[in-house]
Amino acid sequence: MMTNHGNRVTQGQFSFLPDLSDEQITAQIKYALKNGWAVNVEYTDDPHPRNTYWEMFGMPMFDLKDPAGILMEINHCRETFPNHYVRVTAFDSTRGWESPRMSFIVNRPDKEPGFRLVREERGGRSMGYTIAPYAADRPEGERY
């Protein structure tokens, strides 16, 4: 079990808050749409902090402007992968950004065992550090 506040992976912009309701998620989708950002849904069972490329649940919804429709896609992903991490990101295509502007987790496994820290002793007192999710010891799709 993770021993941090909330006993959970705290990636994303709202992980310190109670899990967001559908209504709260919808409000965030509206904020993204108001800014002209494209909402994207991604899932993974490898929550390593440097695992950048979570699996895309379809394409970013560039042309879908209906918050209820976007929420349906999010819920579809959550139903398909109930024991995965699912995050919602919002992409800004304007010059000077061209990058996500929002990212928050909307689904997570019931139990989050956390990460192993491996210390590799080097010369002197130096240490090389490796972080690995305990769950990633098992094959993809069988982790949570």
Partner 1 sequence: MGKFETNIDAKPRYSAGVIPYKKMGYWEPDYRPKDTDVIALFRITPQEGVDPEEAAAAVAGESSTATWTVVWTDRLTACELYRAKAYRVDPVPNTGAGTAIDAQYFAYIAYDLDLFEPGSIANLTASIIGNVFGFKAVKALRLEDMRLPVAYLKTFQGPATGIVVERERLDKFGRPLLGATTKPKLGLSGRNYGRVVYEALKGGLDFVKDDENINSQPFMHWRDRFLYCMEAVNRASAATGEVKGHYLNVTAGTMDEMIERADFAKNLGSAIVMIDLVIGYTAIQSMAKWARNHDMILHLHRAGNSTYSRQKNHGMNFRVICKWMRMAGVDHIHAGTVVGKLEGDPLMIKGFYDTLRETRTEMSLEHGLFFDQDWASLNKVMPVASGGIHAGQMHQLIHYLGEDVVLQFGGGTIGHPDGIQAGAIANRVALETMILARNEGRDYLKEGPEILEAAAKWCSPLRAALETWKDITFNYASTDTADFVPTATASV
Interface positions with partner 1 (CB under 8 A): 2-5, 9-11, 13-18, 24, 27-28, 30-31, 47-50, 52, 89-90, 95-104, 114-117, 125-129, 131, 133
In sequence order, what DSSP letters do the residues of 29-90 get, joined into one string?
HHHHHHTTPEEEEEEES---TT---PEESSS-BSS---HHHHHHHHHHHHHH-TTSEEEEEE
Are the C-beta atoms of residues 38 and 61 closer than 8 Å to each other? yes
Measured from the CB atom, the residue of 12 and 75 that comes closer to partner 1 is 12
Measured from the CB atom, the residue of 79 and 130 that comes closer to partner 1 is 130
The one-letter amino acid code at 89 reads: T
Measured from the CB atom, the residue of 6 and 82 that comes closer to partner 1 is 6
Measured from the CB atom, the residue of 72 and 131 that comes closer to partner 1 is 131
Compute the least distance from the CB of residue 111 to partner 1, in Å.
Answer: 14
Compute the least distance from the CB of residue 8 to partner 1, in Å.
Answer: 8
- Where b means 16+ CB within 10 Å and e means fewer, 42-60 reads bbbbbbeeeeeebeebeeb
Compute the least distance from the CB of residue 90 to partner 1, in Å.
Answer: 8
Compute the least distance from the CB of residue 140 to partner 1, in Å.
Answer: 18
Measured from the CB atom, the residue of 63 and 120 that comes closer to partner 1 is 120
Q: Is 9 helix (H, G, I), strand (E, B) or coil?
A: coil
Compute the least distance from the CB of residue 41 to partner 1, in Å.
Answer: 15
16, 109, 123 from 133: Cα distances, Å: 20, 13, 26
